[in-house]
Chain A
Amino acid sequence: MAHAFEKLHWSRELEFGQYLTPGSLDDALQMLADGKGQARVIAGGTDVIPELRRRHLKASILVDITRLPELRGITQEGEDIVLGGLVTHAQAPASALIRERAGLLAQGCAAVGSPQIRNLGTLAGNLISGQPAADASIPLLALDARVTIASLEGEREVPLKEFFLDVGKTVLDSTREVLTRIRFRALGPDQGGCYLRLSKRKALCLPMLVCAVQVTADPQAKVIKEAAIALGPVAPVPFREVRTEESLRGAAASRQVIAQAAENASAWCSPRDSLLRGSCDYRQEMVKVFVRRGLTKALEQAGCTLD
């Protein structure tokens, strides 16, 4: 019995037969191309290895990209912050630049898995795994991040809004492409962000709800110029509550407006009933709380204290 179960659902031996360690991005892309769909990228491995074990993923060749120098580092280019494809969930919050100019992302990264997982797992991997409540993906989505994807045919840049397709599915094909960079604008003085998470425990626990907010405000006029609200898991993919965002464009930064926005956001999203993550009703209530709290805190950071 145990054996039959293992054969179908979980395997102690991992089935890949080749482990390649390219020294440059060009080599890595060539190895993937030579693998003709049988090769797959591995970086931190914190998702790939369990997925191979559970047989959700098949690959006979793993191409380990963690030694590629091109994919390292956190840099500032003008007003943009650029993260290399290998930046881990431990490295991002350790960077003063990320903490000061993208605090919501630092907080999201710090909520992932456990310290050991954060030392291995990359933000790029968090995006590519395509989970609806991924802790780094939701703030990146609120930050309007764009990713650069490389293949033998060249590079393309994709905004995150177009990146996620379905649970576990993105526009990136890990059998021939590598996510090389994540880029977004650093928060300016008239901007603010907030990351909120609801989970049963503080470590090693998937979230019941994640909400990330970014706002741009005019603190003198007390007006919201732009708002971005990302939520998960309320849909098969990390979700931007676009209708609420639109209703906030140019609106007064007041408690009343924000309470209404929270009502709207909660009415428009329908999380599934889940034994693990809580009922739809409960999480809808929590969407209301999080959107209100997230907008309030983000506005405060942008210099707009609500009366």
Chain B
Amino acid sequence: MHPGLKDGNMSTLKLSFKVNGKLTSLAVAPNALLVDVLREDLGLTGTKAGCREGECGACTVLLDGEPVNSCLLPAMKAAGREVTTIEGLVQEDGTLHALQQSFTDQGASQCGFCTPAMILNAKALLDKAPHPDEGQIRQALSGVLCRCTGYRKIVQAVQNIAQGK
């Protein structure tokens, strides 16, 4: 462990960024990763930490609209930028985002560990190409592993939105 870390005297950095539309400022350790800042400092536990090595994709968030692995992202990389997590998709009154509703309707979520990442990757795709074909959908979801569903229903849930169903 870095000598400064344990003693708590390692100087912290100030991180200011937008999280789900809200300007947020907090002190973070220089070696903090975005996934931990989101989950532990900001309580946004919808973002999951799985492998912490960029393999599983469960930690996906949108950084200025692009999906990235938050386990590979030093928190300071988010400074001055906009981060969207799964919590940011729900409307103020609690209404689910169309993708969230579609996943629910299709039974596309079983244990749910991969679901936030699947939905955020799908959202990034639909924001760019509102009517993707199945190949584009599978490509967009290829960076998230699901160990429960077999993917079929996840793809279907996104397709239903893409086809305006």
- A and B are partners in one complex rather than unrelated chains: yes
Contact indicator B67/A62 (Cβ below 8 Å): no
Q: How far is the CA of A18 from the CA of B79 in the complex (A)?
A: 16
Known: A16-B2, A17-B2, A19-B13. A120 touches B72 (CB 8 A): yes
- Interface presence of A114 (CB below 8 A): yes
Q: How far is the CA of A203 from the CA of B143 in the complex (A)?
A: 7
Identify whether the interface residues of B are mostly helix, strand, loop, or mixed. Answer: mixed
Assign chain A's interface to a size class.
20 to 34
Other A-B pairs beyond A44-B72, A49-B73, A115-B139, 9, CB < 8 Å = A16-B2, A16-B30, A17-B5, A42-B74, A49-B74, A64-B74, A117-B69, A117-B143, A119-B67
Contact indicator A49/B72 (Cβ below 8 Å): yes
**Using Cβ atoms and an 8 Å threshold, which residues of chain A touch B68?**
116, 119-120
- Interface presence of A21 (CB below 8 A): yes
Q: How far is the CA of A270 from the CA of B9 in the complex (A)?
A: 53
Contact indicator A15/B57 (Cβ below 8 Å): no
Known: A17-B10, A17-B30, A204-B145. A115 touches B140 (CB 8 A): yes
CB-contact partner of B77 in A13, A66, A117, under 8 A: A66
**Using Cβ atoms and an 8 Å threshold, which residues of chain B touch A203?**
142-143
- Interface presence of B105 (CB below 8 A): no
Contact indicator A115/B54 (Cβ below 8 Å): no
Q: A185-243: which have CB < 8 Å to B?
A: 202-204
- Interface presence of A260 (CB below 8 A): no
Q: B45-65: which have CB < 8 Å to A?
A: 52-55, 57, 60, 63
- Interface presence of A50 (CB below 8 A): yes
Interface size on B, residues (CB 8 A): 35
Q: Which residues of A contact B (CB under 8 A)?
A: 12-19, 21, 42, 44-46, 49-50, 53, 60, 62, 64, 66, 90, 113-117, 119-120, 202-204
Nearest CB of chain B from residue A290's CB, rounded to whole Å: 23
Nearest CB of chain A from residue B146's CB, rounded to whole Å: 12
- Interface presence of B149 (CB below 8 A): no
**Using Cβ atoms and an 8 Å threshold, which residues of chain A touch B72?**
44-46, 49-50, 117, 120
Contact indicator A21/B4 (Cβ below 8 Å): no
Between-chain CB contacts (< 8 Å), 27 pairs: A13-B31, A14-B31, A15-B5, A16-B2, A17-B3, A17-B10, A19-B13, A19-B31, A21-B79, A45-B72, A45-B73, A45-B77, A46-B69, A49-B73, A62-B30, A113-B54, A114-B143, A115-B142, A115-B143, A116-B69, A116-B143, A117-B54, A119-B63, A120-B69, A203-B142, A203-B143, A204-B57
Q: B136-159: which have CB < 8 Å to A?
A: 139-140, 142-145
